[in-house]
Amino acid sequence: MKHPKPKAKLEVYNISKSFGRVEILNEVSFILNDGEIVLLTGPNGSGKSTLLKIIASLIHPDGGTIKIFGEKSPAIPEYTRAQIGCLLHDNMLYSDLTIRENLEFVAGLFGIENIYKTVNDIGTTFELGRIMETRIRYLSHGQARRVAIAKAFIHKPKLLLLDEPESGLDAISLELLHEETNRLRSTGTTVLMTSHSFGTTNNICDRVVILNNSKIICDKKLNEISSSEINRLILKRNTGQ
Amino acid sequence: MNRSHFPFLLNTLTTISMVFAIWMVFLWVPTETNQGAVQRILYIHVPIAWGAMVSICIVAVASILYLHNRSAKWDRIAVSSAEAGAIFGSMMLFSGMMWARPVWGVFWTGEAKLVTTLILFLLFVAYLMFRNYFPEGIQQKKIAAVIGIIGAIDTPVIYFAANLWERAHPPLVTGPASDGDSLLSGSIELTLFVSAVAFSLLLFSLINLRYSVHKSEDAVNLFYRNSSIESNTL
Amino acid sequence: MKSLKTIWLIAKNDMALELRRREVVLTILGFSTLVFIIFTFTLDIKTYESQKFVPGIFWSAIAFAYALGLNKRFASEIENGTFEGLLLAPISRDIIFIGKFLGNFCFLFISTLISLPITTILFNISLFRIESLLICLVISVGLSTLGTLFAIMTVRVRAKEIMLPLLFLPAISPLLLAGVESMSELTIGSNYSEFKTWISFAVAYDLLFFVISVFLFHYTVQE
């Protein structure tokens, strides 16, 4: 049975989430269109990672709806989930397996046909060729993060969810990340990436969404808002009791 | 009948039936000839055991309903029943041992019913400990529901296994009741029945009481959550 | 077909990890052997009366050791976030559960097989029979089913070291009984029909709880 081609779109409507008495997200809504790279930013504890996990169906929201390629989460079918790539706060790598073994495992889970070639290709893309047979536990934090990014990109997803992808990356890794992200965007992939600051991501993002005090306080195209205004909104503090 | 009158009515009925049951158990029913005064413990032990079994059934049904429609009401019923079941389970084990020692000559045998009730009590304790230790939230409730369902399914399996085991290992009992059950006379049956009604009402009273406490806790949490939203509003 | 491939992929990955770490099998073997050794001091193993307790000692030690091993196994999965990685893959939760179960079953089965000759040597009781293999197989399936389910449920709990045994051991008590009684009939008793009864009971238990666990698993993994 041929599955319908997925639309590269993410729709988030009125998502709320609390942990115990603490409100993390309060009726957060936004839409991502085909081929957009959106930066979701805000101070620490504003709910960026939680929102990403809710979109990835790892956490159930208290209220609201999420649609991924038109399918309502969390009941999205497997062929739709196969189009989503995730990089979360943890690298999600098996420390006692090699880079190659980790990537081959993920490739197998995503049903990739020619696993050996695909793994070699992604290793080349992210310049991991020399260290493919090294176990994750012997890599530096930055190298491990690069492997985790490669893992998220390996199946050429149509929707990428990247949680602080730039943390711990050196200049070369950053450049590789931006290159590959731009390349996927040109094929229609939508990217939602989080960061707690607005700095190096400004040269690839189209839009910025700012979360502060559980709500979205800004959702604008990058050319409609200045960097100083973005930073001011990120740093805006809650002085309530 | 107004919904708010229900707890008052239930508690009143429980009190009346319990007073009546205690009077019957300790003053009205004649002393059994075989086992003596210690036999009176059975009028409390048997209804309590029945209550513990009813509790696990309520936990299982409420858990299934919670997983089906995610209504917090069913989760509160499940946890309240587990709490009541744990109390009834411990009382049942204690009263059973107090009865068994003078009558059977031992505190404990490998009898199927005893083994089942001990493991049932442990499952109640594990359920409640889990709820305490797991961070509060929807996943806590869902996993607790799964534990409740597995515990309820496991209970008859444990009883069946223990019965199978008993066939090969007859219980080692001595004492006045070791040769078989004494005949149930009319007054004994009536006392047992009244006691069963009283302890069933007590079980439902306890469940209702704990349910209202959990409901209040949830309301307080919601109040604090809403307050933090208001203070966060830009 | 794809599901079977994925199940095997998950199990193979776990086995590859175990070969590198040698954590679970060594924990089960080490702990259970220690228990056996302690019982050789505390029981007069020459007497027939003491030998009657050997199947009980065997399965109790295995059950406790398995709880320890499972805790270690899943704690490291949660720590590295690799279990979340599995949940993000486009595979159903049932497949994840069966794959994890298969890996855990292999570790446990291998450990029980190695424990058989250790018990034979320490307690002078012959367990080298084909029926012993069958007992180990059937009991390992049941222990792995509920062990996998409960381990995943309790791994994020505070005091998980006590929480898992507290849930796991009462729940598997009928299976332990079946293991002990069938092994007793084999080694000390002479009633083959009793042996068949207990094995049939254990198989029924395994089937019942495998189906229930697969069905209930997906409720336990999404927050």
Tell me the ipTM for this assembly: 0.88
Distance of CA B173 to the CA centre of its chain: 27
Distance CA C192, CA A128 (A): 61
Q: C70 lies in which domain range?
A: 2-222
C192-221 and C130-154 are packed helices; what angle lies between their axes, rounded to 10 degrees? 20
Closest CA to B115 of B91, B101, B96, B87: B96
- Backbone phi and psi for residue A13, each to the nearest 5 degrees, phi listed first: -125, 115
What's the N-to-C CA distance of chain B in angstroms?
Answer: 47
Tell which C residues from 81 to 120 touch A, by Cβ distance under 8 Å. Answer: 81-82, 84-92
Q: pLDDT, tens digit, for every residue of A51-64?
A: 999 998 888 888 89
Tell which C residues from 136 to 175 touch B, by Cβ distance under 8 Å. Answer: 146, 149, 153-154, 156-159, 163, 166-167, 170-171, 173-174
DSSP labels, chain A: -PPPPPP--EEEEEEEEEETTEEEEEEEEEEE-TT-EEEEE-STTSSHHHHHHHHTTSS--SEEEEEETTEETTS--HHHHTTEEEE-SS----TTSBHHHHHHHHHHHTT-SSHHHHHHHHHHHTT-GGGTTSBGGGS-HHHHHHHHHHHHHTT--SEEEEESTTTT--HHHHHHHHHHHHHHHTTT-EEEEEESS-SGGGGT-SEEEEEETTEEEEEEEGGGS-HHHHHHHHHPPP---
pLDDT of residue A59: 86
Percent of chain A residues topping a pLDDT of 90: 41
Using the beta-carbon criterion (under 8 Å), do B133 and C170 form an inter-chain contact? no
Identify how many contiguous H helices and E strands chain C contains and give both numbers.
Answer: 10, 0
pLDDT of residue A21: 75
pTM, to two decimals: 0.88
Q: pLDDT, tens digit, for every residue of B185-228?
A: 788 888 999 999 999 999 999 999 999 999 999 898 888 777 76
Q: How many beta-carbon pairs under 8 angstroms link A with B?
A: 38
Q: Domain count for chain C, please give it.
A: 1
* In the predicted structure, residue B179 carries a pLDDT above the cut 50: no
Percent of chain B residues topping a pLDDT of 90: 50
Per-domain boundaries in chain B: 37-173+184-227
Q: pLDDT, tens digit, for every residue of A8-17?
A: 589 999 999 9
**Residue C221 pLDDT grade (very low, low, confident, very high; cuts 50, 70, 90):** confident
Residues of chain C neighbouring A106 (CB-CB closer than 8 A):
85, 89
**Residue C110 pLDDT grade (very low, low, confident, very high; cuts 50, 70, 90):** very high
Angle at C76 between CA C210 and CA B130, to 5 degrees: 60
* In the predicted structure, residue B111 carries a pLDDT above the cut 80: no
pLDDT of residue A7: 54
* C4 shares contact with chain A (CB less than 8 Å): no
